[in-house]
Amino acid sequence: MNTEFESPVPSLQQRVATLVEHRYFTGFITVLILINAVTLGLETDRDVMASIGRELHAFDTLILLIFTVELVLKFYGYRMSFFKTGWNWFDLIIVGIAWIPASGNLSVMRALRVLRVLRLISVVPQMRRVISAIGHSIPGMISVVGVLGLIFYVSSVIATRLFGTHPDPNMQEWFGSISASAYTLFQIMTLESWSMGVVRPTMELFPWAWSFFLPFMRY
């Protein structure tokens, strides 16, 4: 008689999956990310790089190797399920970017190494929940942005019609075209020199201009 026997000892794959999910392992990776954030900031200081630049580069490479080993362990533990989680894709892309040679035409990629700090989002559960909540709110936000964009476009057309026909150089610069009006209204919306820089000079030519700008700012 054959008796099926299931070993109570977990397989190596299961043990690796348990390891990468352990809070101590996650805490270790979190600490490394924070330390790496500090070292990447120090690399922007010329005096620091002149004194310990080689050590910082070596430490940076070591951390990158640890992040790579972490991904390998996750892939081994999860197998193809690894690719079913968006956060694993997120980590894979960020670590992959860090391995791109930062020399010659690709020297700009060196600045992207700081993206590794964003791995905190995928490691810390509280941050993941915040990002997930933002993601779920995007459809509603798109509708709001669409309405505001429509109002912004209509206001730009009206401002061009009202003020852009005046020969004054400022009016031509600020409201001479829809794109110019849109940029000027964006400046007003951010409250950057909106009163003395744009609205009051416009009111010198169009005393009633306040009746357009005030309702626009309220929206």
CA distance 100 to 113: 10
Residues 174-197 have pLDDT tens digits of 999 999 999 999 999 888 888 888
CA distance 30 to 213: 49
DSSP 56-95: HHHHHHHHHHHHHHHHHHHHHHHGGGGGG-HHHHHHHHHH
Residue 110 pLDDT: 64
Q: What is the CA radius of gyration of the chain?
A: 28
Residue 8 pLDDT: 62
Q: CA separation (Å) from 34 to 30, 38, 93, 117?
A: 6, 7, 19, 7
Residues 79-128 have pLDDT tens digits of 888 898 888 898 888 888 888 776 656 556 666 777 778 888 878 888 88
For the chain, domains (ranges, CATH) are 12-127 (1.20.120.350), 150-218 (1.10.287.70)
* Among the listed residues 190, 199, 189, the one whose alpha carbon sits nearest the alpha carbon of residue 151: 189
CA-CA-CA-CA torsion sign (115, 120, 123, 128): negative
Packed helices 46-78 and 23-42: angle between N→C axes, nearest 10 degrees:
150
